[in-house]
Structure 1
Amino acid sequence: LHKAYMIAQQKQINVKVGNVFSGDMYYDPDEDMIPALERFGVLGVDMEVAGLYGLAHHKGFESLAILTVSDHCLTGEETSAEARQLTFNQMIELALETACQ
């Protein structure tokens, strides 16, 4: 985590470090859940990280989630599929450089 953060700082990539909630809320959001997560300082909601961390732990691998916000669950703003393909390069480059160091 520290290595990824330092690389992001060197590359002047705007990053936030903190907790995310991993679950299947995308399909069935509980209206009371988001305000509760905000009160605990949770930065985002994700659907895969918990499973990937669990698998990494089981196999004895180090792991790190580097996420890019694509949709806003409160405002309904969404990133188009095309924008997702073309604009998440900084996250990909940060992940690759972190893994290679």
Structure 2
Amino acid sequence: MTFHIGAKPGEIAETVLLPGDPYRARWAAQTFLKDARLINEVRGMLGYTGTWQGHPVTIHGTGMGMSSLSIYVNELIRDYGAQTLIRIGSAGAMQPQVKVRDVVLAMSACTLTAPSNGIFKELNFAPTAHFGLLKAAWDAAERLGVPTHAGTIYSSQLFYDERPDLQEQLQRHGALCVEMEAAELYTLAARYGRRALAVLTISDHLLTEEALPADQRERSFGDMVEIALHAAFA
């Protein structure tokens, strides 16, 4: 057990999918895993372990934002031996060619600040995905016929961001979407020598203001979870 994860030794798989929302973790585990069992509920952050096509998989919530994700990913890696960590979450599109319900694979994640930034001091470290996972996810998306984009994303430290000038520059430089966790996940994976990827479903659009209704989000997120699972065990 750790401060934030109550799982016993051996209850967390080496492959971990990481939604921000603990209820999405429960939904994904019940939908995609066989014999899923609850292994953590400390502070209401739910984690489940089961199998997918015979492979052990844990699906564990991280909460919202890089600071919260950093807590869980550090403990999953250091205390439970997680080797492959794939974020499955929602994002807001920033480019006209990226549509609501599309999937985005984050090749790299830029950010203004993250919990790990202090380590690098004046260096602008560039957090990137594990190439093997990225390629496997792209191949899986093509096989499944899911509209998918790969490129740079923006990990914001704020949900209500009041920097329209920054949004304009990110769009100008091709950032596909905005979310709140991937940059720290990629940095921690690099630090510990683990594999990481962010597979994101577009739930809303910053240009068109289109958004998925709440009752449609879970149904639309199934493609993202399936891509992540195929990528993890390619």
Q: TM-score, normalised by structure 1?
A: 0.88
Whole-Å Cα distance in 2 between the matches of residues 76 and 29 of structure 1?
16
**Aligned to 1:73, which of 203, 206, 211?**
206
Q: 72-81 vs 84-93, which deviates more? A: 72-81
The amino acid that maps onto 1:22 is: S
Do the aligned residues in 1 keep the contact of 2:136 with 2:230 (CA within 8 Å)?
no
Alignment partner of 1:27 is 2:160:
yes
The amino acid that maps onto 2:223 is: Q
1:18-59 residue CA offsets vs partner (Å, 9 max, x unmatched): 100111242223111121111101101110101111222222
Q: Say how many residue pairs are matched.
A: 101
Whole-Å Cα distance in 2 between the matches of residues 65 and 29 of structure 1?
25
Q: TM-score, normalised by structure 2?
A: 0.41
The amino acid that maps onto 1:43 is: L
Identity fraction in percent: 39
The amino acid that maps onto 1:42 is: A
Do the aligned residues in 1 keep the contact of 2:203 with 2:211 (CA within 8 Å)?
yes
- How many Å apart are 1:93 and its aligned residue? 0.3
Cross-structure match for 1:94: 227
Alignment partner of 1:47 is 2:180:
yes
Alignment partner of 1:62 is 2:198:
no
* Structure 2 gap ranges (5+): 1-133
The amino acid that maps onto 2:198 is: A
Whole-Å Cα distance in 2 between the matches of residues 28 and 41 of structure 1?
19
Do the aligned residues in 1 keep the contact of 2:138 with 2:148 (CA within 8 Å)?
yes
Q: 23-32 vs 43-52, which deviates more? A: 23-32
The amino acid that maps onto 1:98 is: A
Distance 1:88 1:78, change over 3 A: same
| Structure ID, larger Rg | 2
- How many Å apart are 1:63 and its aligned residue? 0.7
Cross-structure match for 1:6: 139
Which structure's residues are more often helix, by fraction?
Answer: 1
RMSD: 1.5
- Select the structure with the greater relative contact order (CA < 8 A; seq sep ≥ 6): 1
